[in-house]
C-alpha cells in the first residue's frame, strides 16, 4: 500500500514525534511505501527504505496561524497523490484516517482557560478535519468521549486503538541493573529517586511536583527531571536534570517512582513504559493510560495539593510491599500497524469501522 502521512514535525523528540518515527518503521517493515509530509524536519539522520519526506516551508507563517496554513498545504500534497491512503497525525482535513492523541477543546478545558482567537482557529481546523475524515482513531476512550462531545464525531466512524509499546526495550529485567544505571547518570545511590519525564513542564505538573518534594526530607528523596532541563529552584529540593535521553528505559529502571500529574495527558506513553520497567507511576485525572494500567502499578492523584502528592510519593516509596507481578497491557508496533492498516483499507473501501475498541494485548 502507498501511504501518505502528515504531521507538523519530523524530529527525534517528544512522544508524538517518536510515535511518528516508529509508525513509519512499522509501515515500511510491513511492506508499505510511505511518503511523509511535514511542516518542519530536523534531527533525523535516516529513515527506512521505502520512505520519502517532503517538507512544507512554514517558518515565515506566524505560529498562531500555522495550523490553518499547514492544513491548506497538506491538502495540496494530498491532491497530488490521489492513489495514496492518507493518514494524519496533525488533525488535518481531507484524510482517510486521523489518529488522535488529544483535542484542543480538551486541552483548553483541562488548563481552565478561555479560548483565544488562535485557539478558535485551531479548533475550527480540527472540526473540519474530523468532519471530512472517513475514520477517526482515538488513543483512549477518554479522547473518544471528547471527540463525540466536543466535535460531534459519529461513533460509527471511531475506533479506539491504544498506542504501541516496545516490550523488548521496556522490561522489568532492567531493574536488576539499577545500581549500574544510577552510576552512569551520576544519580545518588542512597536516595529514593522520583522521575519527572517531560518537555512541557507546566502542563505536566512540575510546579506541583516540586512543591510536594519540598515536603519530603531532602536527604532521603531526589527529583530526576528527564527531557527539558528543570528551571532554577530555591533550596529544599535535590534536583538532577538528565536532559534529553535516548535510553529512557535505563532512567525508568534507575528510579523508584515516576510522577507526572499532568493537567491533560490524552494517553501518556511514559506511564506504560515506566510500569513495564518495574517502576510504578502517579498520574493526573486526565490520563488515557489509566485505562490500561493495573492498580498496583499506577495511582491517580485526584486532589491536586502538594500535601496529598507528597504523602502518595512517601507511601509508594516506603512501602515494603512489592507490586504484584501483573502483565501491563501493551500492543507491539506490528500489532498496532496491522490494526491501523485494516482501518485504512476500510476507509478507502467505504466500509464501516470493524471495531470501535481494540484492546491492548
What's the confidence (pLDDT) of residue 330?
73
Is residue 294 a contact partner of residue 277, using CB atoms and an 8 Å limit? Answer: no
What per-residue confidence (pLDDT) applies to 67? 87
The Cα-based distances of 101 to 146, 200, 289, 327 in angstroms read 11, 15, 11, 24
Q: Is 31 left (phi over 0), alpha (psi -120 to 50) or beta?
A: left
What is the end-to-end Cα distance of the chain in Å, rounded?
25
> Would you give per-residue pLDDT tens digits along the chain (361 residues)?
999 999 988 876 667 788 888 899 999 999 999 999 998 887 676 888 889 999 998 878 888 888 899 999 999 999 999 899 999 998 889 999 998 778 999 999 988 889 999 999 999 999 999 999 999 999 999 999 999 999 999 999 999 999 888 888 999 899 999 999 999 999 999 999 999 998 778 888 899 999 999 999 999 999 999 988 777 766 788 999 888 888 999 999 999 999 999 999 988 889 999 999 999 999 998 888 889 888 888 899 989 999 999 999 999 998 876 666 666 767 888 999 999 999 999 998 875 443 333 433 3
Strands 158-161 and 357-358, sheet pairing: parallel
User: Domains (ranges, CATH) in the chain?
Assistant: 2-164+332-358 (3.40.50.2000), 172-318 (3.40.50.2000)
Q: How many CA atoms lie within 13 A of 185 on its CB side?
A: 29
Query: Do 286 and 268 meet the contact criterion of CB atoms below 8 Å apart?
Result: no
Model confidence pTM above 0.75: yes
Contact 163, 19 (CB under 8 A): yes
Q: Give exposure, 79-109, as e/b (b: 16+ Cβ within 10 Å).
A: eeeeebbbbbbbbbbbbbbbbbbbbbbbbbb
Torsion of the alpha carbons at 268, 269, 272 and 273, rounded to the nearest 10: -140
Closest CA to 213 of 287, 303, 311: 311
HSE-up of residue 210 (Cα within 13 Å, Cβ side): 18
Exposure b/e, 9-30, CB count within 10 A at least 16 = b: bbbeeebbbebbbbbbbbbbee
**Polymer length of the chain:** 361
Integer CA distances (angstroms), 122 to 65, 70, 84, 135, 153, in order? 8, 11, 26, 20, 17
Amino acid at each position: 500500500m502507498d501511504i501518505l502521512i502528515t504531521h507538523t514535525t519530523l524530529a527525534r523528540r517528544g512522544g508524538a514525534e517518536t510515535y511518528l518515527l516508529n509508525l513509519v518503521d512499522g509501515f515500511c517493515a510491513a511492506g508499505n511505501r510511505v511518503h511523509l509530509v511535514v511542516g518542519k524536519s530536523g534531527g533525523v539522520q535516516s529513515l527506512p527504505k521505502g520512505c520519502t519526506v517532503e517538507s512544507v516551508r512554514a517558518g515565515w507563517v506566524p505560529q498562531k496561524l500555522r495550523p490553518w496554513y499547514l492544513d491548506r498545504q497538506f491538502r495540496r500534497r494530498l491532491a497530488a497523490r490521489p492513489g495514496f491512503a492518507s493518514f494524519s497525525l496533525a488533525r488535518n482535513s481531507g484524510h482517510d484516517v486521523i489518529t488522535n492523541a488529544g483535542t484542543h477543546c480538551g486541552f483548553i478545558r483541562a488548563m481552565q482557560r478561555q479560548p483565544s482567537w488562535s485557539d478558535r482557529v485551531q479548533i475550527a481546523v480540527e472540526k473540519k478535519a474530523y468532519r471530512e475524515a472517513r475514520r477517526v482513531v482515538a488513543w483512549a476512550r477518554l479522547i473518544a468521549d471528547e471527540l463525540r462531545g466536543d466535535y460531534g464525531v459519529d461513533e460509527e466512524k471511531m475506533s479506539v486503538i491504544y498506542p504501541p509499546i516496545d516490550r523488548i526495550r521496556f522490561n522489568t529485567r532492567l531493574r536488576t541493573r539499577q545500581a549500574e544505571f544510577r552510576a552512569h547518570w551520576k544519580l545518588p545511590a542512597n536516595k529514593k529517586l522520583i522521575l519527572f519525564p517531560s518537555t512541557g513542564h507546566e502542563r505536566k505538573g512540575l510546579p506541583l511536583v516540586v512543591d510536594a518534594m519540598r515536603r519530603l526530607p531532602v536527604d532521603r528523596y531526589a527529583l530526576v527531571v528527564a527531557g527539558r532541563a528543570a528551571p532554577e529552584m530555591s533550596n529544599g529540593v535535590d534536583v538532577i536534570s538528565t536532559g534529553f535521553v535516548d535510553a529512557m528505559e535505563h532512567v525508568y529502571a534507575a528510579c523508584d517512582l515516576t510522577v507526572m500529574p499532568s493537567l491533560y495527558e490524552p494517553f501518556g506513553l511514559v506511564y506504560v513504559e515506566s510500569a513495564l520497567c518495574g517502576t510504578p507511576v502517579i498520574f493526573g485525572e486526565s490520563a488515557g493510560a489509566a485505562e490500561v494500567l493495573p492498580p498496583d502499578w499506577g495511582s491517580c492523584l485526584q486532589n491536586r495539593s502538594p500535601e496529598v502528592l507528597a504523602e502518595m510519593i512517601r507511601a509508594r516509596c516506603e512501602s515494603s510491599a512489592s507490586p504484584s507481578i501483573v502483565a501491563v497491557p501493551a500492543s507491539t508496533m506490528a500489532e498496532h500497524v496491522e490494526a491501523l492498516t485494516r482501518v485504512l483499507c476500510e476507509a478507502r473501501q467505504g466500509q464501516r469501522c470493524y471495531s470501535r475498541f481494540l484492546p491492548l494485548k
